[in-house]
Structure formats: C-alpha cells, structure tokens
C-alpha cells in the first residue's frame, strides 16, 4: 500500500511541473554561465522549460527571450556579459518579456535543445506570450551591443502586440506613429 501512495505522489508531482524564475538553480550537472541570484537571467532546464516558457493557463504569462548556449563555447562565454547587461537593462520590461537561458551542453537539456532546432551557439529565440510549442519561437541575433539587442527585441514585441493586444501590456500604439 505504501508503494501505491508513493507512485500516486510521483504522478501528482510530475503533472504539476516547475516554473523557473530568477533564483532558480538548474538541475543539470554542467556549470552555467549565469549566476542564479546575481544575474537577471532566468536559468531554464529540461524540467522547467515547457512550464515556464509555454505558460498556457497561467495569468502571469509573459513572452520570453531565451539564449541557448553551451558552457564550453568561447562565443557563448564572451557573449554572457552582454546578455547579463541586457537582462539587467530591460529588467523593468518583465511584465512583457523575461530573459532566460538554457545550457545545451548539459545532457539533461538535450531533448529541449534538439526540439528547438539549436544548431550553433549562442542561439536566441523569442517566444511570444502564450506560445504552446517550439514552433512559435522566433530566431533573433545575439548582437554585441545593448542598443541593437533592445531594438531587435522591441520590434518582435511590437509585432506580438499588433497581433494579440494583451490587456495587461502597456499601450504600444504610440510607438508605431
């Protein structure tokens, strides 16, 4: 009877899922390029990616910009300070978009990285609010300047807004004039 209870509790835990936020430590074994406490980058892993990015049914949904990287990649290591600064720079935009990263070098994350079609590093994807599949992710460029990153992200957010016009997002119509 005790083993039946254990199986039941495991099924409940598995169906609840996990949502990552600032401070979440990824469960993988590889080192990460971001500090879960000091950096404004949400660290994702296989157990948190879907429930965090594909936030169907939650009221606190936002869009996500996810950097897929590899901890051994020299380009990723040199890009990490730019991404950290960018995340800190737009921290005030978190009701609209959140900044996240996933280490594809970690074997735990292999399935999600392959499902997202990651072919090189760093690889950036914007997932519109209420995305339900990797298909909805829009590839972006990992620019080396904060201004170019902000401009690029602003453009995809405005496109998302033009299609969806979420009530709890700011009115971006003034920017289109």
Q: What is the 8-class DSSP label of residue 22? A: T
Given 10, 55, 61, 73, the catalytic residue: 73
Is 10 considered catalytic here? Answer: no
The token pair that represents 147 in the structure block: 């201004």
* Peptide linkage before 122 cis (omega within 30 of 0): yes
The token pair that represents 27 in the structure block: 């469960």
Given 10, 55, 61, 76, the catalytic residue: 76
Instruction: Classify 142 as helix, strand or coil.
Output: coil
Evaluate the CA torsion angle 97, 112, 51, 81 in order and state its sign.
negative
- Angstrom distance (rounded) from CA 129 to CA 93: 13
176: Cβ–Cβ under 8 A, 6 or more apart, which residues?
158, 162
Helix and strand numbers, DSSP H then E, in the chain = 5, 5
Is 104 considered catalytic here? Answer: no
Please identify every residue annotated as catalytic: 73, 76
């Amino acid at each position: 009877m005790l083993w039946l209870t254990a199986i039941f509790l495991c099924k409940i835990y598995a169906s609840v899922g996990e949502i990552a936020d600032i401070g979440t430590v990824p469960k993988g074994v590889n080192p990460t390029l971001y500090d879960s406490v000091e950096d404004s980058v949400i660290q994702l892993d296989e157990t948190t990616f879907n429930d965090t990015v594909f936030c169907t049914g939650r009221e606190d949904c936002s869009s996500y910009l996810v950097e897929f990287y590899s901890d051994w990649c020299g380009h990723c290591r040199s890009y990490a300070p730019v991404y950290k600064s960018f995340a800190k720079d737009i921290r005030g935009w978190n009701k609209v978009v959140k900044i996240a990263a996933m280490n594809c070098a970690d074997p735990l994350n292999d399935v999600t990285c392959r499902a997202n079609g990651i072919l090189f590093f760093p690889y950036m994807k914007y997932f519109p609010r209420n995305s339900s599949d990797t298909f909805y992710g829009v590839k972006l460029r990992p620019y080396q300047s904060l201004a170019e990153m902000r401009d690029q992200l602003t453009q995809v957010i405005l496109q998302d807004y033009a299609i969806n016009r979420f009530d709890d997002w700011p009115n971006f119509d003034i920017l289109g004039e």
